[in-house]
Structure 1
Amino acid sequence: MKFGKEFVSQMVAEWEEAYMDYNSLKATLKHISRFRELNESAAMASTPKGSLKRRLTLYRAFSGLTGGQRGSPRKSEDEVILVRAEEGEGSEGSYQTMFLKPSEEGEEQDLVFFKKLDREFNKVNNFYKKMVKEMVEEAEELSKQMNALIALRIKIDKVGFRNVASNGSSNSISLSDHIYNARPGHSRVHMDVIHEIELSSESHLENGTGNYEKQTTPDEGFRPASVEILDRVKINMTTLDSPISTIKGLLSSSKPGQSFSRKELTKVEEQMSIALKEFYHKLRLLKSYSFLNLLAFSKIMKKYDKVSSRNASKDYLKMVDSSYVGSSDEVNRLMERVEHAFIKHFANGNHRKGMNTLRPTAKKERHRITFLLGLFTGCSIALIVALIILIHARNILYSEGRTKYMDNIFPLYSLFGYLVLHMIMYSANVYFWRRYKINYSFIFGFKEGTELGYREVFLLSSGLAVLSLAAVLSNLDMEMDQRTKSFSAFTELVPLGLVIVLLLITFCPFNIIYKSSRFFLIRCAFHCICAPLYKVNLPENFLADQLTSQVQAYRSLEFYVCYYFWGNFKTRSNECLQSDLYKAFYLIVAIIPFWIRCLQCFRRLLEEKNAMHGLNGLKYISTIVALVMRTTNEFHRGMVWQILAATSSSIATIVNTYWDVVIDWGLLRRNSKNPWLREKLSVPNKSVYFAAMVLNVVLRLAWMQSVLGIREAPFLHRTALTALVACLEILRRGIWNFFRLENEHLNNVGNYRAFKSVPLPFNYEDEEEITVT
């Protein structure tokens, strides 16, 4: 792989604009190269015919075999550039390169190149300096948090020590002490390991004179953290987000009293472990950023030397090495200190365990997944072909039992069709998110190495498709047994058995079939069901949006209950639609997902005080009203209900379409450099965005089928037409997913957000809530 592609592939997506623009500099070098080739061609054309054709560089003055050595008297004659450092405002400085060959032809192109090069280098250097400063500040905060954690451990465990002064602060040693005592402007941050009360593994201690003395008692040399820290901190109860804490927060106007328990200690340790892991991840990304950019500057300068036949890279790279991004070692020191602290405090001194936690291994693509994916996909296609042949051979479309089958069996299997289609759309989303470098795993907050790729998702969907199609084949009988006037009980129970198997796999506690992803889905679904008692994060928000596109799936589940418990599945008959209770739940189950999103919006409105969340909640209320009107119109046909359904649905469609395109997708920006689109686009082909907007509008108009009273279509039964409309909504949601996450990713890119916001457990007095961002 060429370096340019490798450079782009290894970028931190959210920092893309802060990296060196390697392609732009490379394009400038191509212009210089073409200009020189044209000059050489012109020079060759002016030479007498028959003379030797040689490169112009072969006619340059010979610099001597020892001209490149250090201290050569001809060095000043061969110098091409001079790099000067200029002080800027605040902590930002800049470097400016002077080109020392003004008399040579093609000087303008060289000046343009070095001007761009300086601009890119200053951008990289200043960004790196800014990020390191933030890391140091964060290290200070983590140090204070760790000191409080250690003091809490001492208090909970009730550890006592001899020879410890009553004033614990005199014996307290913390990470932050070394940072606070560092001289201003000093490049070295002495981030010493957080000292906790523990037995020393060494048998000798260093005294004040630098000599070592024998340790005489077990308690000598202990330097405990100060328990008095706990008098100045409070445990951040807002991080313990749960329905109980939410209700308590609403009912109680006063802050909870200070109580230190082992349960709180466990929670605090868990939070600090997560915070240190996230901090270490930031340091790793920053180190990678520095390495990649330094390598890019080295590569581009070597290309310049090759194109221009000069030796400018040595002087420029010498400046790069002496700059902050090239010489600062603070990130490495911080990484070492975090490793030592994490191993000591959260891995019980086990180096391998601690490093495996801090540096999770990259997920490997397995050939087994590819093989099973191909197998299940092939089986699905074969089963579809078999179904088509069977339907044609038995003339099922015109069979007397067709209506019974479509009214009773088809709604049962349509549930699996909705799920399979949604999973296929999600796998397509993952594929395109990866292709266009949209960091979906970071946005959703997946644990590193556990996120499912498009192969895994498609494997699950194809596996479910095989089970569903095989089940359809098992009871594709149209006519009843004339002797018993019934169908086989075993085959009629196949759909119910398939639902039970699917539920058992979903809630299986064993580490099979992507347990971490299943439990992540279950947790998010539970938070959605309990809305607004849980804090609304993007995964819950996104999942609730998916649920709003599966209305017919919930109605299919309702039909399962009615058909198997109140109907007669042996004779394929039911009276569900004649039951008022069934009709009531038919409406309620459709409203639930929209009501969940409405409650999530109002929760965010209370927490974030952002009026847009209130408007979003009103949008879902308008959708609920439209859904009630349409459902009522289905059961009570009449001109009044039809007008109400059409009016409410039209209003909801206009509001939802505007929100999708403008708010969720960030499009229709009139003054953008891409007219009616965003300033930044992940997909190069702009027509894709316009096509998506048009499709969104068209697919949202699927409700017109029910309002206009279109009950059946040629060769389509009523239930089949309903299923088709439901599939169109799932397709619309799949398209919406890509652009929704693309807009979220680009917002993160615009703010250089490449890290999760991790709440810290302790609040110091007179300080606001502390989070690592």
Structure 2
Amino acid sequence: MKFGKEFGAQIVPEWKEAYMDYNYLKALLKTVQRFKQKDTPHEPPRSLKRKLTLYRTFSGLIQRQPHNSISPTEQDVESQAIMVNSVRQDGSESYQTTFLMTAEEGGEYELVFFRRLDDEFNKVDKFYRSKVEEVMKEAAMLNKQMEALIAFRIKVEKPTEWINSSVAMTNLASDVAASAAALSASTPKGAKLHRKRTFSVAMEAIKEDSSHHALSDNSRENKDDTIQLNNQKFQTEESKNITSTKPAPLEVLDHVQLNSTLETPRSTIRSVLNYSTPPEQEFSSKNLKKVEGQLKQAFIEFYRKLRLLKNYSFLNTLAFSKIMKKYDKITSRRAAKAYMSMVDNSYLGSSEEVTRLMERVEKTFIKHFSNSNRNNGLNLLQPKPKRARHGITFSVGFYAGCTAALVIALCLIIDARKIMNRPGSTKYMETMFPLYSLFGFIVLHMLMYAANIYFWRRYRVNHSFIFGFKEGSELKYLDVLLLAFVLAIMALASVLANLDMEMDPKTKPYKLFTELVPLILVLVVIAILSCPFNILYRSSRLFFLTCLFHCICAPLYKVTFSDFFLADQLTSQVQALRSLEFYICYYVWGDFKYRRNTCYSNSIFKTFSFIVAAIPYLCRFLQCLRRLLEEKDAKQGYNAVKYFLTLAAVCIRTAYSLNKAISWKLLAWVFSLSAAIFSTYWDLAIDWGLLQRNSKNRWLRDKLILTQKNVYFAAMVVNIILRFAWLQTVLGIRFSFLHREAMISIIASLEIIRRGMWNFFRVENEHLNNVGKYRAFNSVPLPFNYDEAESEDE
């Protein structure tokens, strides 16, 4: 693989604009190369060339320098093509390259190259400096959090012996020894390790605390001095073990409070009602476990930042080395050595803060959060990506073939046995078809989601970060396809079994079991989805169920991208939700043994038809209101209006389908048209970020991931057409060869296809927004909140 492709494959997508533009510099070098080749004289005829011979004088393996020759240093200076100097502008250091060969023919092309090269290097160096400053500040904050955690541990482990902290600090050594002796005889091995770790942490805390405060005081004077002090601190800590006998200062707990975030319905309701209990530090094992979990996740995310920063420095340094080697090869100069010497001496090439921080984070994490088990600690900090397994690829192909075979078999059986012409075909379509169409909607949505994942990965859209998936646990598109085809096989096999058992004289007495086949399949799917054991993609199932619960409980939970994205998917699965409603009605109140039910004439069923259709839109409406109150963003208010209009339109169309009065028809037209126009504009302009008149790409956006602009215009047209599929409901369009239930399923499938297309461009737009703001990390809430004002007063 060429370096340009390898470089592009390893960059952080959200930082793409901050990397060295290798392809652009390479294009400038191609311009220089074309000029060189144009002015290169033709080679002389072969007859004039001197032939090599084996009888020429042997010059020896070690060449001797003539006395009158120029020294290597002087020769390098005389043949030097560039000079690189550091310039300080506006308080920041930058680098400028002086090209010394501008008088040569074609020198202006090389001059342009070095100017652009300097721009790229200064951009990279400035970005790297800013990110290192950010992680250093975050490291200081995490250090404070660790001090509070250590004191919290001691308070929880020995609450009765730390009332007088000064006495406790004086007698810590004897106390630790006595406690260790007592614990060795009375506690199990795991508890001993935990308590030893707690007290060893306490013995180290004071040293870390003093060095941290010294560092923070000097950081106010000069940032460069801060970095130097950090280096000294890390060198001191790595060169010798800390054996201080002083405990962790419990006074830290006087200046901190446990952060209370609105993450539960109870806390949200309390905040709305302005019901607040006086702040009280509860030193319990439950809170300690919660604090450790939050800090553990914060350290994992922080270590990921450091890894990406280290990779950023390495890749860009390597890119500058490669481009300079290419320059030397094209121009036959020796400028790479001088330029790379500057790169190595710059902040980008010589800074060791990130490496030292990584080492320190590894040691801290292993000791505090993995019980001093290095392998477990590094596995958490450096999760290995899942390897592509050939078994999954084979299984996907196999099950896809089985699905196609079952579909063909079902079509042939229906045609051969003339099932649609039998007297009971109408009853079958009204009862059994809605039961089985549920699985068709789910499988179609999964296929669209698998296609989305494939194209997101192909065009390097960081969907895992956007959705907040745990690193290394997200589903690949092959995994989703495998699940979709397995569910399709189960559904098709149950349909064929149902038809065969119904028409075979031998199995006609088992009508009860025949009718229970769809219900059994639904219960199996629910059981697999809620299975608590670590099998069948447990982390993904748990993530899905958590987001689903947040959607149902809206607005009691803080709204994340994955929550409202799932709620949007549910708005396109209204017909599937109605199928679930029909399951309950048919198997609870209907006489399913004889395939009879009164669901469509039951007033309760009709009422719940409104409620079921309204639930997804109501969830999105409440999520928008929650975001409006928290973010104070007017767009969320407009979005809430959009979902309210859609909610009203769906309910009125449902009422019109039950009562064909002219008044309901007029209301259905008014609300449906308003909701469709509003939603279409919102899809294109807000969710997709298109329809920008003054953009570089007219009526699109400035930044596009797909190179073919026609794809965006085609997607907009298709989205508009599918948005107005509801016209069939109001106009009452019917086809003689299609049953009413089949027509409803087709319209519902078109909406699922529209949603699948919407998903790609919605996540693409979110990704580009993250790229514009260089957002590549999740913000992890910290457990402790320091009272800085009180600390400064003291």
CA distance in 1, matches of 2:609, 2:133: 58
For residues 6-54 of structure 1, the C-alpha deviation after alignment (integer angstroms, 9 at most, x for no partner) is 10000000000000000011111111111111112xx329x89986699
Distance in 1 of aligned mates of 2:557 and 2:412: 51
1:411 touches 1:556 (CA, 8 Å); kept in 2? yes
Out of 476, 499, 512, the position equivalent to 1:476 is: 499
- From the superposition, tell whether residues 481 and 291 of structure 1 become closer, same or farther in structure 2 (CA, over 3 Å): closer
Alpha-carbon offset, residue 179 of structure 1: 2.9
SS at match of 2:85: strand
Counterpart of 1:650 (choices 652, 656, 673) is: 673
Match of 1:80 in 2: 81
How far off its partner does 1:253 sit?
4.8
Q: Which amino acid aligns with 2:787?
A: E
Query: Helix, strand or coil: the match of 2:499?
Result: coil
Query: One-letter code of the match for 1:125?
Result: D
Aligned to 2:35: 35
5 Å-filtered alignment, 1:108-187, equals 108-158=108-158, 160=162, 164=169, 173-174=208-209, 176-177=212-213, 179-180=215-216, 184=222, 185-186=224-225, 187=227
Distance 1:194 1:312 in 2: 35
CA distance in 2, matches of 1:403, 1:693: 38
Deviations 1:735-761 (Å, cap 9, x if unpaired)? 110111111111110000000011111
Q: Show the counterpart of 1:331.
A: 354
The alpha-carbon deviation at position 178 of structure 1 amounts to 5.0
Is 2:762 the counterpart of 1:740? yes
Q: What secondary structure, in the 3-state scheme, does the structure 1 residue paired with 2:554 have? A: coil
Q: Is the 8 A contact 2:255 2:788 kept in 1?
A: no
SS in 1 for 2:42: helix
Q: CA 1:369/1:482 → structure 2, altered by over 3 Å: closer, same or farther?
A: closer
Q: Which SS does the other structure have where 1:234 is aligned?
A: strand
CA distance 1:479–1:227, shift in 2 (3 Å): closer
How far did residue 401 of structure 1 move?
2.2
Shift of 1:205: 8.1
Q: CA deviation at 1:145?
A: 1.4
Instruction: Report matched runs for 1:306-345 at 5 Å.
Output: 306-345=329-368
Distance 1:454 1:48, change over 3 A: closer
Secondary structure in 1 aligned to 2:697? coil
Cα 1:126–1:591 shift into 2, 3 Å: same
1:511 and 1:37 map into 2 onto residues whose CA distance is: 64
Give the whole-Å Cα distance in 1 for the aligned partners of 2:591 and 2:619: 34
Partner Cα separation in structure 2 for residue 380 and residue 363 of structure 1: 27
Describe the shift of the 1:7–1:550 C-alpha distance in structure 2 as closer, same or farther (beyond 3 A): same
Q: Provide closer, same or farther for how the CA distance between residues 383 and 479 of structure 1 changes in structure 2, counting only shifts above 3 A.
A: closer
Do the aligned partners of residues 705 and 405 (structure 1) sit closer, same or farther apart at CA in structure 2, a change above 3 Å counting? Answer: same
CA distance 1:267–1:66, change in 2 (3 Å): farther
Q: How does 1:482-497 map to 2 (within 5 A)?
A: 488-497=511-520
Instruction: Give the AA of the match of 2:73.
Output: S
Instruction: Output one character per residue of 1:471-515: Cα deviation in whole Å (capped at 9) or x when no partner.
Output: 111122697789999873222211111000000100011111100
More divergent stretch after superposition (557-566 vs 665-674):
557-566
Does the 8 Å CA contact 1:401/1:478 hold for their aligned counterparts?
A: no
Distance 1:85 1:360 in 2: 40
- For residues 274-298 of structure 1, the C-alpha deviation after alignment (integer angstroms, 9 at most, x for no partner) is 1111111100000000000000001
Measured in 2, the distance between the counterparts of 1:382 and 1:256 equals 66
**Partners of 1:698 and 1:507 in 2: CA distance:** 37
Q: Structure 2 counterpart of 1:146, which letter? A: M
Alignment check: 8 A CA contact 1:152 1:260 kept: no
- 1:535 counterpart SS class: coil
Relative to structure 1, the CA distance from residue 194 to residue 458 in structure 2 (aligned partners, 3 Å threshold; closer, same or farther) is: farther
User: Residue 234 in 1 paired to residue 254 in 2?
Assistant: no
Contact 2:102 2:111 (C-alpha < 8 Å) held by counterparts: no
Match of 2:627 among 592, 599, 604: 604
Instruction: Establish whether residue 25 from structure 1 lines up as the match of residue 25 from structure 2.
Output: yes
SS in 2 for 1:682: coil
Residue 250 of structure 1, CA deviation = 2.1
Superposed, 1:244-255 pairs within 5 Å as 244-254=266-276
- What's the offset of the Cα at 1:346? 1.1
Flag structure 1 segments of 5+ consecutive residues without an equivalent: 55-63, 197-201, 207-220, 769-773
Shift of 1:609: 1.6
Counterpart pick for 1:499 among 517, 522, 532: 522
The residue type equivalent to 1:539 in the other structure is: S
Counterparts of 2:495 and 2:130 in 1: how far apart (Å)?
61
Note the C-alpha offset of 1:223: 2.3
Corresponding position of 2:612: 589
Tell me by how many angstroms 1:117 deviates: 0.7
1:667 and 1:460 mapped to 2: Cα distance?
Answer: 34
For the 8 Å contact 2:155–2:283, the answer to whether it is kept is: no
Q: Is the 8 A contact 2:621 2:640 kept in 1?
A: yes
Instruction: Output the CA distance in 2 between the equivalents of 1:591 and 1:266.
Output: 40
Task: Give the whole-Å Cα distance in 2 for the aligned partners of 1:486 and 1:634.
Answer: 38
Partner residue in 2 for 1:535:
558
**Distance of 1:191 and 1:376 partners within structure 2:** 60
Letter in 1 for 2:82: I
Give the match for residue 42 of structure 2.
44
Three-state SS of the structure 1 residue aligned to 2:593 is coil
Question: What's the CA shift string for 1:685-718, capped at 9, x where partnerless?
Answer: 11111111111110011111110122x3132100
Q: Quick one: distance in 2 between partners of 1:750 and 1:205?
A: 44
Question: Is 1:514 aligned with 2:512?
Answer: no
Residue 195 of structure 1 and its aligned partner are, at CA, apart by 14
Amino acid in the other structure paired with 2:764:
E
Residue in 2 aligned with 1:209? none
Aligned positions of 1:173-322 closer than 5 A: 173-174=208-209, 176-177=212-213, 179-180=215-216, 184=222, 185-186=224-225, 187-188=227-228, 189-190=230-231, 221-238=244-261, 241-254=263-276, 256-262=278-284, 263-322=286-345
Q: Tell me if the contact between 1:377 and 1:462 (Cα under 8 Å) persists in the aligned partners.
A: yes
Aligned partners of 1:86 and 1:96 also within 8 Å: yes
TM score, norm. by length of structure 1:
0.90
CA distance in 2, matches of 1:69, 1:156: 76
Q: Specify whether residues 138 and 205 from structure 1 end up closer, same or farther in structure 2 by C-alpha distance, changes over 3 A only.
A: closer
* Equivalent residue, structure 1, for 2:395: 372
* Aligned AA (1:749): V
| 5+ residue gaps, structure 2 | 52-62, 173-201
- Aligned-residue Cα RMSD (Å) equals 2.8
Q: Distance in 1 between matches of 2:629 and 2:751?
A: 31
1:340 CA displacement: 1.0
Distance 1:452 1:260 in 2: 39
Q: 1:192 to 1:245 in 2, by over 3 A?
A: farther
Answer yes or no: is the 8 Å Cα contact 1:178–1:190 preserved in 2: no
Q: What is the rounded CA distance, in whole Å, between the counterparts of 1:205 and 1:399 in structure 2?
A: 86
Fraction of identical pairs, as percent: 54
Where 1:72 maps in the other structure, the secondary structure is helix
Secondary structure of the corresponding residue to residue 759 of structure 1: coil
- Corresponding residue number in structure 1 for 2:730: 707
Mean alpha-carbon deviation: is it higher for 137-146 or for 155-164?
Answer: 155-164
Q: Which has the higher helix share?
A: 2
TM-score by length of 2: 0.88
Say if 1:617 and 1:766 are closer, same or farther in 2 by CA, change over 3 A: farther
State the distance in 2 between where 1:258 and 1:29 align: 66
Amino acid at match of 1:252: N
Aligned residues: 733
Q: In structure 1, how many angstroms separate the alpha carbons of the residues matched to 2:640 and 2:148?
A: 41
**In structure 2, C-alpha distance between the alignment counterparts of 1:482 and 1:117, rounded to whole Å:** 83
Deviation at 1:172, TM superposition (A): 6.4
8 Å Cα contact 2:501-2:507 kept in structure 1? no
Residue number in structure 1 paired with 2:590: 567
Secondary structure of the residue aligned to 1:652 is helix
Q: Please report how far the alpha carbon of residue 181 of structure 1 lies from its aligned counterpart in structure 2 after TM superposition.
A: 5.3
Does residue 760 in structure 1 map to residue 782 in structure 2? yes
- The alpha-carbon deviation at position 259 of structure 1 amounts to 2.1
Distance change >3 Å, CA 526–CA 247, structure 1 → 2 = same
In the alignment, is residue 452 of structure 1 matched against residue 475 of structure 2? yes
What amino acid is the match of 1:426? Y
